[in-house]
Amino acid sequence: MSEKLDRRKKYTRKVLKESLISIMNEKPVSSITVKEICEIADINRSTFYTHYADQYDLLDKIEEEIAEDINQYLSSHSFIIEEESLQMSQRLLEYIAKNKWMIQTLLSEHGDPTFEKRLMDIAQRFMMNNWRDVNHLDEDHSRYLSTFTVSGAVNVIKDWIDNDMDQSPKEMAVMISCFANYGLYYFE
């Protein structure tokens, strides 16, 4: 019996998340009502409120889930070895490709601007911890280098998503890795 309830809870949350993201393709979360979400999800409002406080709480849970997934990907790899870094980047890009619709919406003008910053902070924290130890960088240099690298990578990924992922995740991982490691020398 509890397995059936768990499945129903998962389904309800999934439909509510998809409904919010669908509406966010058209307008920002501040213009979205719980009533709209429930109409799209075909779920009554009392059911919504058993899971979430409001549309902002729902959006926060979606963002938390993605941030946790990305945190797990980063935690399972080392930036120290270039080959592992490339594999980790490819896996992250595969995750993004698999969740394209949701990620694209959350990074769009209708998404929460703090979401992109949240993702960048996660990546930057991992890079700083690994680069500082390996390259003997002081904290300031490590922070600036990771800001530069992560900002560039995030914008390349956003461009890739906007171009309908015209390259495979593996090709993008190689490209981003080469840009990060060799910069303009990559083109010589």
* Tens-place pLDDT, residues 113-122: 889 899 888 8
| pTM tops 0.85 | no
Q: What is the pLDDT of residue 50?
A: 95
CATH number of the CATH domain containing 33: 1.10.357.10
**Cβ-proximal residues to 87 (8 Å cutoff; 6+ apart), any chain:** 77, 173
Residue 130's domain comprises 2-187
Report the candidate in 154, 144, 157 with the shortest Cα–Cα distance to residue 120: 154
Token pair listed for 172: 């993008």
Total domains present in the chain: 1
Mean pLDDT of the region 86-104:
88
Report the candidate in 119, 138, 118 with the shortest Cα–Cα distance to residue 128: 138
Q: Quick one: 113 exposed, middle or buried, by C-beta within 10 A (0-12, 13-18, 19+)?
A: exposed
* Tens-place pLDDT, residues 134-188: 556 677 777 788 888 889 989 999 999 999 999 999 999 999 888 887 876 656 5
